[in-house]
């Protein structure tokens, strides 16, 4: 009896081993428990039933349904295709950045031109349209002074 009381004290101090806890559970679920220890009987009985309930491993295997297998294949193939597309986009983007492009260009009416002769011809035509005489230039420059 003293052994059980010592084990109870150790249990409540958190110093018992698994074997000692098993001994306490068996003692309190057994038939002869002294009156002064009856208070602990429901607690250890509960622990014993929970312990036996969860001590057996619960292993259930579910067969894969055909739909699940098909879905898994679809996901695998789709992710592979997506990876290839992303890889190709990355490669083409890298080549586009590395490809030589003309360093000089002009945008005229929203279009990009790199031909120097065409650009020169367009510039001369634009300067002719806006050319001013010397008199117009002097009038514009010295208009505020008067």
Q: Which residue has the higher pLDDT, 37 or 100?
A: 37
- 6 and 37 together in one domain: yes
Q: What is Dmax (Cα atoms) for the chain?
A: 128
Residues 85 and 110 in one domain: no
Per-residue model confidence as pLDDT tens digits over 25-47: 888 777 777 778 778 787 877 77
Distance CA 88, CA 20 (A): 65
Q: Are residues 113 and 90 in the same domain?
A: no
Q: Which two tokens stand for residue 110?
A: 């929203």
**Would the pTM of this model clear 0.75, i.e. be above it?**
no
Q: What is the pLDDT of residue 87?
A: 93
* Residue 84 located in a structural domain: yes
Residues 13 and 42 placed together within one structural domain of the fold: yes
- 70 pLDDT band, cuts 50/70/90, is confident
Taking the CA atoms of residue 124, residue 130, residue 133 and residue 139 in that order, the dihedral angle to the nearest 10 degrees is -150
Give pLDDT, residue 54: 60
Q: Assess if residue 135 is contained within a domain.
A: yes
Overall domain count for the chain: 3
């Amino acid at each position: 009896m003293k052994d059980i009381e010592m084990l109870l004290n150790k249990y409540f101090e958190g110093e018992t081993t698994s074997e000692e806890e098993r001994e306490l559970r068996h003692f309190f679920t057994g038939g002869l428990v002294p009156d002064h220890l009856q208070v602990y009987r429901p607690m250890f009985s509960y622990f014993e039933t929970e312990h036996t309930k969860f001590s057996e491993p619960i292993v259930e295997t579910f067969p894969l349904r055909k739909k699940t297998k098909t879905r898994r294949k679809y996901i695998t193939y789709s992710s592979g295709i997506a990876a290839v597309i992303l890889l190709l986009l990355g490669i083409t983007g890298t080549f586009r950045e590395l490809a030589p492009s003309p360093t000089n260009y002009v945008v005229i009416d929203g279009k990009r031109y790199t031909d120097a002769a065409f650009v020169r011809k367009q510039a001369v035509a634009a300067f002719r349209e806006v050319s001013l005489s010397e008199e117009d230039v002097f009038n514009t420059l010295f208009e505020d002074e008067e």
